[in-house]
């Protein structure tokens, strides 16, 4: 019988992914549920444990798509709010670690194999150099991975996805200016995420004086882009270009000669990864004037591993 060391969970704005971790750090019995199907994270965890016949565990590590600043955690793109202390007691845990979801994504990077990432553009990684991980999904996550003095790594939490989004080109400025009228502040997440893709598409419709035949979700826009719909394709390509600009800003800030890794639930999808490779992402990543040659030396990758956050969380059990 397998002996589990604890529960690991990657909780985003739309989906919560659960698994049980064994002594070797492997994620077993993985399952994905919709957050909206449960009143709170405690209910979702209890349902998962009951389904797998687990009456008690000593430890759990959770990655959540929001800041973790105090005992009370409020999800950014989901209506779940919980107390870490109360959740620990309710589950009968001895240890409960709660971190930002991109901390877990970043901690997984050193363990990725060549088959679990796709390189886009030039540059080669330097050993023991900072790494940036950025990823559009329901929201936009960011973390920076830095080497420690003992040969390991430290993942720095942050909310870089809510930094102000620049618009280097006139067509993007028109879109962002329109979004500014609606939101006031236009963060990177407003245009580089699932919700951001909807924002881009709806704004382009308005600017082109066209009307949508029906409300579209991110997956609909992506599917239509792949099928050749010009406006959906423009929205997807604009998002990828803006991601290039944003990722280049992060690389300059962190000096991330270990590489920049694109994670999240959008770019690695079948079909979209091909559009991404054809997009202006890498050109825009390097388009920093006098520092273009600096950025040309930093490699960029798309993370294609299944459930990479589980690997980072396994280190925290």
**Bridge pairing between strands 27-34 and 300-303:** unpaired
Assign 1 a pLDDT band (cuts: 50, 70, 90).
low
Q: What is the rounded end-to-end Cα distance, in angstroms, of the chain?
A: 20
By CB atoms closer than 10 A (0-12, 13-18, 19+), residue 181 is exposed
The pLDDT value given to residue 24? 87
| Dist CA 65 CA 76 (whole Å) | 7
Mean pLDDT on 135-142: 93
pLDDT > 90 fraction of the chain, expressed in percent and rounded: 89
State yes or no: pLDDT of 184 exceeds 80. Answer: yes
pLDDT given at position 249: 98
63 within 8 A of 99, measured Cβ to Cβ: yes
User: What CATH number is given for 4-100+309-314 in this structure?
Assistant: 3.30.420.40
The structure's pTM equals 0.92
Check whether 273 has a pLDDT greater than 80: yes
pLDDT greater than 70 at residue 32: yes
Q: For residues 26 and 36, what is the distance between their CA atoms, to the nearest angstrom?
A: 28
Give residue 97's Cα distance to chain centre: 19
Mean per-residue pLDDT of the chain:
95
Mean pLDDT across 267-287: 95
If pLDDT is split at 50, 70 and 90, which confidence band does 211 have? confident
pLDDT of residue 120: 97
Domain ranges of the chain: 4-100+309-314
């Amino acid at each position: 019988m397998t002996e589990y060391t604890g529960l690991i969970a990657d909780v985003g704005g739309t989906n919560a992914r659960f698994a049980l971790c064994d002594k070797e750090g492997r994620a077993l019995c993985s399952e994905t549920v919709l957050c909206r199907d449960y009143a709170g994270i405690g209910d979702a965890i209890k349902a998962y444990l009951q389904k797998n016949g687990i009456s008690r565990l000593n430890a759990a590590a959770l990655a959540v798509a929001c800041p973790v600043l105090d005992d009370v955690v409020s999800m950014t793109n989901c209506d779940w709010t919980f107390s870490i202390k109360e959740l620990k007691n309710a589950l009968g845990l001895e240890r409960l670690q709660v971190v930002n979801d991109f901390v877990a994504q970043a901690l997984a990077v050193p363990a990725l194999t060549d088959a679990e990432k796709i390189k886009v553009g030039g540059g080669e990684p330097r050993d023991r150099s900072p790494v940036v991980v950025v990823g559009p999904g329901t929201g936009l996550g960011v973390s920076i991975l830095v080497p420690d003095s003992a040969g390991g790594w430290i993942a720095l939490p942050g909310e870089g996805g809510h930094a102000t989004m620049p618009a280097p080109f006139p067509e993007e400025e028109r879109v962002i200016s329109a979004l500014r009228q609606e939101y006031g502040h236009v963060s990177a997440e407003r245009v580089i995420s699932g919700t951001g893709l909807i924002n881009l598409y709806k704004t382009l419709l308005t600017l082109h004086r066209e009307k949508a035949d029906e409300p579209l979700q991110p997956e609909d826009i992506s599917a239509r882009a792949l099928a050749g719909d010009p406006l959906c394709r423009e929205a997807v390509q604009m998002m990828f270009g803006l991601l290039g600009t944003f990722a280049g800003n992060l690389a300059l800030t962190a000096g991330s000669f270990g590489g920049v890794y694109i994670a999240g639930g959008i770019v690695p999808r079948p079909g979209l990864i091909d559009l991404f490779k054809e997009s202006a992402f890498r050109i825009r990543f390097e388009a920093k004037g006098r520092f273009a040659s600096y950025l040309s030396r930093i490699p960029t990758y798309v993370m294609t591993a299944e459930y990479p956050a589980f690997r980072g969380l396994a280190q925290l059990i």
